[in-house]
Structure 1
């Protein structure tokens, strides 16, 4: 199947009301008249252009189209010498943008920052000389990729993402999921994940990971969340639903975390009712467990463990769905053999993963474990 091409968005005259013109270097890229920042083609959406105006130029939100038309006329009448300096500045900005984009790629791959100078720049130099037959000197000197530079760029981008997330949650409704975990040193850790809608798409991300200094009771958990919301100016009224692991400290009726939260948000929805009904059904069926596991990006909770737990309770799940969702029950029955196969497969992978962990892994031990698994 041919790979679908990414849609290229075009500039519209309506974008001027947000303070944007098409970039002189590339008409497919929007440029802000207020800060001269050039955004990506994917940002050529009214919602994203308006978001840039709201975040970086909040004092200009209510200026209107007439104000930006005047700015446009002044921009188009600027002296030729300004254009010359702007071209030089644009060239430097391109190198800076490339440095940030490559730093982002390095961070996403989780590889050492030194690869920028050791591999990426030499590879770019080779392409410029061999394929494009151009001198690489002028280009490479504008792309800074030292170890410290990549580290600094990554930190700046992560800080900007955090600030954007906190600011966005101040003005939109979202769901929150909480989970308590224990680190190897027996420190209690509270992780909070949020799910929200932005640009007509559902997004999910880690909100924070905070240590529970004293106890792990519902009130302590609520106080950690409350302090964080107060620090980031996020109103509790924006929370529309909450999910937890079902532990008594989280779902307790009187002193659990959800009970404290419902005192502030009475209309809050949660999965506590279904969880209690399912736990009661598992108890009546004499199951070894009373709840399912919900996987999040907690690295010490493998996805295979969630699948193993699900299949061990599959008969109770089918009985529970009989009155709740008969259609889903029918689909589950049809896929029961596939789920069993995946459960066995992931269990093997989980066992292999555990054997490769430890305080002192070495090449001989690792090779022996993998060879035995493949054999």
Structure 2
């Protein structure tokens, strides 16, 4: 098979190259330092790598990638591999801290403002100042933490999509919900259920911001765009679960009608939580009166901070 050769124009796509022992050139991403195969030395594959893993860097100029390439080459100079190991450890540590920040839902600035200074003080006390200086190469800035979390999120999404595609039963079900967060941003959230190794798995699939309106067509276009980007065929969609909003279940122009044009055999189910809410509206009179009192009491307590504090102190008083 004919080997491909590196072209200088590939640097504008964020790729330099390395040469293995057999003299084969392989592309290496200057952002994540991942080395691809020789067969990947073609513009479409390199652009696809950047589009999926580094979307925020795809419009950077050549000067930016040249600086990244220079830093990458410097890390290769040390023949002992010490610089390389040190850089790898710093990158891994940065990812681990970013993952913890994301799990705890803390501000991205906490890494640079709190975690890193605390780590330096602890290492200084236990191991001395020389050991603490090694932490200076650890990058935990606001932008770095945000970028690390984005990379890990994209990687998890790619793993889920690949598992769906490679499943022996390549059908999947989708659960959708459209909600508005505290910043008044409309978010479309999707969960997927599929079969992997004879086990049913349920995973978070995507969260897409709705820029303007949230009509049935807007929701359908967003889902269709995601399916197209990730290569998921509509024909493999087995079932959809959503709430009872008119935009979702409208028989003529709702999301349900638009989906059924793509896959007529799709099974439509109603969200169990919304069913419980609907059932609560038809409670017997005795239960409805009790529920009304409970709801009124909870709203009163949570309506004002002072009410909540007084109620908390009341609960802590000894009987």
- Measured against the shorter chain, the TM-score band is 0.5 to 0.7
Match of 1:14 in 2: none
Whole-Å separation in 2 of the counterparts to 1:170 and 1:243: 21
Partner of 1:203: 202
Instruction: Report 1 or 2 for greater relative contact order, CA contacts < 8 Å, sequence distance ≥ 6.
Output: 2
Deviation per residue, 1:341-360 (Å, 9 max, x gap): 9999898666655x26xxxx
Structure 2 length normalisation: TM-score?
Answer: 0.56
Residue of structure 2 in register with 1:153 after alignment: 148
Q: Residues of 2 paired with 1:230 and 1:241: CA distance?
A: 18
Q: Which residue, out of 309, 313, 318, partners 1:371?
A: 309
8 Å Cα contact 1:189/1:212 also seen in 2? no
Task: Note if contact 1:194-1:204 (Cα within 8 Å) is conserved in structure 2.
Answer: yes
Contact kept? 2:301, 2:307, Cα under 8 Å = yes
Q: Which residue of 1 aligns with 2:105?
A: 110
Query: Which string of whole-angstrom CA distances, capped at 9 and with x for unpartnered residues, describes residues 75-105 of structure 1?
Result: xxxxxxx996334422321111001111221
Deviation at 1:176?
Answer: 0.9
5+ unaligned residues in a row in structure 1: which ranges? 1-33, 36-54, 61-81, 276-290, 295-305, 316-336, 357-365
**d(CA) in 1 for partners of 2:82, 2:137:** 14
How many residues in Structure 1 have an aligned counterpart in Structure 2? 239
Structure with more of its chain in strand, by fraction = 2
Instruction: Indicate the RMSD between aligned Cα atoms, in angstroms.
Output: 4.6
Shift of 1:239: 1.3
8 Å contact kept, 1:250–1:256: yes
Shift of the 350–242 alpha-carbon distance from structure 1 to 2, 3 Å rule, reads farther
- 1:215 Cα deviation after fit: 6.8
The separation in 2 between residues aligned to 1:101 and 1:236, in whole angstroms, is 36
> Are residues 59 and 312 of structure 1, via their aligned partners in 2, closer, same or farther at CA, if it must alter by over 3 Å?
farther
Partner of 1:258: 256
Kept in 1, the 8 Å contact 2:160–2:205? The answer is no
Which segments of 5 or more consecutive residues in structure 2 lack a partner in the other structure? 1-25, 28-34, 41-76, 315-319
Q: TM-score when scaled to structure 1? A: 0.49
User: SS in structure 2 opposite 1:136?
Assistant: helix
